[in-house]
Amino acid sequence: TQLLEQSPQFLSIQEGENLTVYCNSSSVFSSLQWYRQEPGEGPVLLVTVVTGGEVKKLKRLTFQFGDARKDSSLHITAAQTGDTGLYLCAGGPGTSYDKVIFGPGTSLSVIP
């Protein structure tokens, strides 16, 4: 059974600080996604990474997929209050169709 763990579970930082959240598994994933969920809303896809060692940047967010495709990290530079939300990683075998496994999430609060 594939499982994803995320750390930290909760994170509260001041606006302007940098942070990194992690997504880990003992299993290999063919691809991994990061979603952000704001209160009262459904998750919204931020990025999909598919190649071991891949790094993708989305403005102040940097995503990295581990070389062995068992882990991923999300780094936010100069956090803003708009970054507040629940960050979820999700992975799967990457076949044409299959269930997608979600991690428990990191709840980020950016304080002005």
Burial label for 110, CB within 10 Å (0-12, 13-18, 19+), is: buried
**Interaction of residue 13 with other proteins, rule CB under 8 A:** no
Tell me, by CB under 8 A, how many residues bind other proteins: 30
* Nearby residues of 39 by Cβ (< 8 Å), 6 or more positions away: 85
Q: Based on CB atoms, which residue is closest to other proteins, 16 or 54?
A: 54
Which span sits near other proteins by CB under 8 A: 10-18, 34-42, 59-67, 68-76? 34-42
Q: Which stretch binds other proteins (CB under 8 A): 16-24, 53-61, 68-76, 94-102?
A: 94-102
Q: Does 39 bind other proteins (CB under 8 A)?
A: no
CB 62, CB 77: distance < 8 Å: yes
